[in-house]
Amino acid sequence: MRRVRIVRDPSELAEAAAAEVESALSEAVAARGRAILAVSGGATPRELYRRLGAGTPGSGPWPATHLIWVDERFVPSGAPDSNYRLVRETLLARGRIAPENVHRVETDTGTPEASARLYEAMLRSLLPPTGPAVDVAVLGAGPDGHTASLFPGAPQLEIRDRWVAAVPQSPQPPKVPRVTLTFPLLARVRRVLFLVSGAEKAPVVARILGPAVGSDPLLPAARVDGVGSTEWMLDPAAAAQLERGSSPG
Ligand code: 6PG
């Protein structure tokens, strides 16, 4: 099921997304004793991560939550562009997630390929081999329709037998190599949450969610749906080219 929710502004986007994430994690912990949260980088989710990290340590689903990364930029973990750093400064700032439950993509391995192999091995020990594997994933979408570090036309889109791939060069800023989850694992997320804000995303949002649903099935962000649900949370600027009343598929 794909839903679209248009919120007032970026602050309401973060608030609404935080509520969704916490409820998905709580459901997972109640049902299975633990929760797996996958996080993206980029600017849009920063406020969400800050909010999630600001709660009382040891409360709610957090002690039983494991954190994994949807993708990582191949830069040192302290670099400004590091997705690990983004999350360390926000979601992890008050220690809500136990260090042993934080599974970051190592980037001091020499090559993005080595990092991808290492991350794949880690994920294979953490996650079930088949069936739903990740409880909630926070995703973004680029103006070109990429999600994670899966860029339109890239060979990584064709991978069927691996959960993690190296991207030797990103066509979008920051133009550094990346390490990314692939479709086979992204297809095993229970609840997918896309957070998209800003006018530069309006055309691509319309291509993905507009009346001609499925007209751009090749855009990477259009190819990810949750096993249980997919929610596109948009601010008014990102939703500006969606026709009123259009119903997403
Ligand atoms: C990354 C990402 C990427 C991101 C989109 C949207 O590390 O760059 O995980 O897929 O989610 O590019 O990014 P913004 O929120 O900055 O627009």
- The reply to whether the predicted model has a pTM over 0.85 is yes
Q: Which of 13, 44, 48, 77 to mutate to test the pocket of ligand 1 (most atoms within 8 A of CB)?
A: 44
Question: What pLDDT band is residue 249 in, cutting at 50, 70 and 90?
Answer: very low
| Tens of pLDDT, residues 42-101 | 999 999 999 999 988 888 999 999 999 999 999 999 999 999 999 999 999 999 999 999
The binding-site residues of ligand 1, defined as CB within 6 angstroms of any ligand atom, are: 40-44, 70-71, 73, 83, 140, 142, 146-148
Q: What is the pLDDT of residue 213?
A: 54
Residue 226 CA, ligand 1 centroid: distance in Å = 18
Specify the residue for token string 């459901």. Answer: 27
From the list 194, 202, 237, the residue with the least C-alpha distance to 42 is: 194
Question: What pLDDT band is residue 248 in, cutting at 50, 70 and 90?
Answer: very low
- How confident is the model over 195-206, as a mean pLDDT? 96
Instruction: Please report the beta strands in the chain, taking only residues with DSSP state E, as ranges in sequence order.
Output: 2-6, 35-39, 65-69, 71-73, 102-103, 134-139, 164-167, 178-181, 189-196, 229-234
Residue 31 CA, ligand 1 centroid: distance in Å = 30
- Report the atom number in ligand 1 closest to the C-alpha of 72: 7
Residue 236 CA, ligand 1 centroid: distance in Å = 19
From the list 167, 169, 27, 97, the residue with the least C-alpha distance to 84 is: 97
As a whole number, the mean pLDDT across the chain is 94
SS3 assignment, position 239? coil
Instruction: Tell me the C-alpha to C-alpha distance, in Å, between residue 118 and each of 109, 123, 150, 183.
Output: 9, 9, 19, 18
Which protein residue's CA is at the shortest distance from atom 3 of ligand 1? 148
Q: What is the pLDDT of residue 1?
A: 81
Q: Which of 105, 115, 147, 157 to mutate to test the pocket of ligand 1 (most atoms within 8 A of CB)?
A: 147
DSSP codes, 162-230: -SEEEES--SSSS-S-EEEE-HHHHTTEEEEEEEE-SGGGHHHHHHHHSSSTTSSTTSGGGG---SSEE
Is residue 245's pLDDT more than 70? no
- Residue partners of 11: CB distance under 8 A and separation at least 6: 47
| Tens of pLDDT, residues 149-196 | 999 999 999 999 999 999 999 999 999 999 999 999 999 999 999 999
Question: What pLDDT band is residue 215 in, cutting at 50, 70 and 90?
Answer: low
